[in-house]
Structure 1
Amino acid sequence: MLPYDEEDLAAIQYAYIEDEVPPLQWAALSPALQICWGRSGHMLGSIWLLIKLEGKRLFYSGDYTEESFLLGTDTPEDEIRGLAHLHGAIVDAAYSTDAEHQPEKLEQLYMAAANILSAGGQLLMPVPVSGRGQELLLLLRRRFPDTPIRVEHELIDAMELMLEHASWLRPGMDHVLADALRVSSFEIVHGDEQRAHLLEQDMAAGRAAIWFTNDGMMQSAKSQWYYEKLRAHAGSGILITGHVAKGTMAERLLALSEAQRGCRMEVVRYKIHQGKPDVRKMTQAMNSKFTLLVHAPKRDTDILLEQLESEGYRDLLSLQPGDIIHL
């Protein structure tokens, strides 16, 4: 049971940061606090922050990537160099020692998808409602132009929202989104009856199809309905493209053998965070008293820290709840 209700949600006061100050410009929020922000490329609205607070200068990367297909990133290096030094930096290191870049990830993803589609299977793509889902929709449309793509309407609603906020996109990507929406590249699924009808048609015809559903870890009843249908259809499969939390339906299915599961299932990460080369690049831009690596399990962060220290990087931290940094 949640410790809050709709009344609490309605009481939240917030403001849009881009209404206060454009990206890459400083704004004074109070006599003691100044901020500078930029787009961090992770999803619509995600940002990094430079903070000046009571004489201290801090950097927070947020969830950060420069390898998004759709989203723009404002790299913070020039703003950081404009400061004498930083008193601290908090850096996204979610992918720890992973050294692969997006093109490598995509080739693995395309190969996994092709293995299912070439056999006439149904490919389920469980994705979050906003973020990598829209990118993968466009990328798979481009890679498999003759394969029907069925997509839950929530993902299309989020794509339309991205188009309404084109300043967060890479140059020209608004036209790519508009074209995809205009030419009806996808069969949009609006309800149970339509979903069941389309899937039964595809299976009966032995026709390969790609299905996007808005639940990256397969916790929803809708995702589990898809799984029950696919497990009875030889050659079909599920492709997970992001983090799988402990205890989720996706994690439980991955723990089974293919025979137990009843269909194929594979994890191929689509890059929306930083791996080792990205952390190295960002750390090189820091003239900081310390750089705290975050967003991965501590054991993975410790390994990354050791590898970077062996390359000569210093003042890196890997902490856990309860640890304290004295500035």
Structure 2
Amino acid sequence: MNEIKIFSFSGSGENGRNCYALQTEQGIILLDCGVKRETVGEQVGFYPPLTEEVASQVRMVFLSHCHEDHSAALPMLYHLGYNGEVYAAQETIDAAPGMIRKWMAYVEKQGGSLPFPQSAAEKIRFSPLSLGSNLVNGLPVEVGRSGHVLGGVWFQFPVQGKKVLYTGDMTLQPSSLAVDLPEPCDAAIMNCAYAGQCISQEKQYQKLLELIETTVCAGGKVLLPLPPKGRGSDVLKLVSAHGFGVPVFVEEQIVTCYQELQKKSLWLSQADEQGTCAANLTIVKNENERQQALNTAGGAVYLASDGMLTAPDGLVYYNALKADVNSLIIITGHAAAGTVGAGLFDEEYRRKNDVSVRAEKIICKVHLDEQDALSLQERLGFKKVILFHAIKEKNKSLLESFKERNIEALAGSWPQTITL
């Protein structure tokens, strides 16, 4: 048999728990192994449906970036019996263990249970890849920058005479990060988080600034919950440059990640030589400083860590502002079911929790949208693709567009398979 089977264990047709596979004659090449931050009843978090049998067939693992929805199920894979390496960019290797520990702590705090012992996280063995050409256990691997986050990459594999691309969380229009374009390929596993949409980053940023300006000028306060790695740096730079004429408070973790990013010139399209030293910017380092920030009279802007409002610092701001009809919380990315970030847009949740603060969702573009996906296909020429990072309903128009181009496209998990 000389076939290559390409499929999703989970992540395709849903948002989260990204885990994809190339099944070759030598075994399975696993691409990412993440969790989905959703709470349903007593279930805190969802994981790829991996088994001991699957783990025994995994030949090697490639990790596209550090975010929990791509990395935090790795301890489960090792608990199931995998004992090989996880290959990733060094910057991802530096950040992933902290992300995994943060996920484990979150589950424990929420009263959930992990499908692996805490000690399984210590079993993970990382091995660094360089940008460009690599040879991993005899397998050639091309690695390029994805534009999503520091250390975020795509992988291209020449396997059994075919080329397969895994985009990871790729964007063609990054704000600060550089992005590399892959070579033509036969098949792709492609991120399309904004399926069904065509998003202008410039217009989204303009809308974001206008909403903040309007709110603070009327004496209200604005809370921006942000993931520190990735989108947090982009929004910090934007808000810091604008100023608004009111105090801007930012959690230390967001500033630290931004400063780390600026030291990594290899990953940047253009370094910010001005830094973030706006006169009205105050870094918040502890609970006492957080409370002082909230006691500010009049308008103010708060940048808190964790884009879904599940982290302790973000919840402090949220609880202080949730009854204030003059204030505003802006969600800039995906908020999973069961999180406060999602609850802000649910009338029943707002009523039960006495939430009066206004809420808006403005996407800050860090993934591919529908037009990006179509443009990438035109450039790369692949004829088979698995879409991920969006629920099935949002993929309908993109799937139809691919069908019109005679491209085999899937948006679902195993047993749906693409064969080369």
Map of 1:83 onto structure 2? none
2:197 counterpart SS class: coil
Give yes or no for contact 1:71–1:170 (8 Å, CA) kept in 2: yes
Are the structure 2 counterparts of residues 184 and 143 from structure 1 closer, same or farther at C-alpha, using a change threshold of 3 Å?
Answer: closer
> More displaced, 272-281 or 312-321?
312-321
Gaps of 5+ in 2: 1-112
Q: Which residue of 1 aligns with 2:273?
A: 175
CA–CA distance in 2 between the matches of 1:136 and 1:144? 12
Q: Give TM-score, length-normalised by structure 1.
A: 0.86
Following TM superposition, by how much is the alpha carbon of 1:38 offset from its aligned partner in structure 2, in angstroms? 0.7
Q: Alpha-carbon deviation of 1:271?
A: 0.4
1:222 and 2:313 are equivalent in the alignment: yes
**Matched residues in 1 for 2:306 and 2:151: separation?**
20
Aligned with 2:258 (options 155, 159, 170): 159
Q: Does 1:123 align with 2:222?
A: yes
Measure the CA separation in 2 of the matches of 1:91 and 1:231.
Answer: 38
Q: Deviations over 1:73-92 (max 9, x none)?
A: 1122xx32xxxxx3311111
Whole-angstrom distance in 2 between the partners of 1:307 and 1:115: 39
The letter for the 1-side match of 2:294 is L
Could you tell me whether the CA contact under 8 Å between 1:283 and 1:291 is conserved in 2?
no
Using the TM superposition, give the Cα deviation of residue 290 of structure 1 relative to its aligned residue in structure 2, in angstroms. 0.8
Pairwise CA RMSD = 2.1
User: In proportion to residue count, which structure has more helix?
Assistant: 1
The Cα of 1:52 is off from its aligned counterpart by 1.3
Q: Please tell me whether residue 8 in structure 1 is matched to residue 115 in structure 2.
A: no
Structure 2 vs 1, CA of residues 106 and 123 (structure 1 numbering), >3 Å: closer, same or farther? same
Higher relative contact order (CA 8 A, sep 6+): 1
SS at match of 1:180: coil
- How many equivalent residue pairs? 305
Aligned 1:117-266 pairs, distance under 5 A: 117-171=216-270, 173-176=271-274, 179-180=275-276, 186-200=281-295, 202=296, 205-206=297-298, 208-256=299-347, 260-266=354-360
Name the SS of the counterpart of 2:273 in structure 1: helix
Q: Is the 8 A contact 1:150 1:187 kept in 2?
A: yes
**Runs ≥4 residues deviating over 6 A:** none
Q: In the TM superposition, what are the counterparts of 1:85-104 in structure 2 within 5 Å?
A: 86-104=185-203
Q: Which residue of 1 aligns with 2:370?
A: 276
Cross-structure match for 1:69: 175
Counterparts of 2:259 and 2:201 in 1: how far apart (Å)?
24
Deviation at 1:245, TM superposition (A): 0.8
Unaligned runs of 5+ in 1: 81-85
Q: Following the alignment from structure 1 to structure 2, what is the Cα–Cα distance between the partners of residues 145 and 117?
A: 8
Which of 53, 68, 92 is matched with 2:159 structurally? 53
* TM-score, length basis structure 2: 0.68
Deviations 1:156-179 (A, max 9, x none): 1211221232211113x2424xx2
Helix, strand or coil at the partner of 2:126: coil
**CA contact 2:249–2:303 (8 Å) conserved in 1:** yes
Query: Which residue of the other structure, out of 398, 404, 408, is the alignment partner of 1:315?
Result: 408
Question: What SS does structure 2 have at the residue aligned with 1:147?
Answer: coil
Q: Residue type of the partner of 2:320?
A: K
Tell me the percent identity.
28
- Give the counterpart letter for 1:167 in structure 2: L
Q: Distance in 1 between matches of 2:289 and 2:206?
A: 32
- Partner SS state of residue 347, structure 2: coil
- C-alpha separation in 1, matches of 2:213 and 2:230: 23
For 2:154 and 2:248, the matched residues in 1 are separated by 34
Task: Letter of the 2:332 partner, please give it.
Answer: T
- Describe the SS at the equivalent of 2:140: strand
Letter in 1 for 2:194: Y
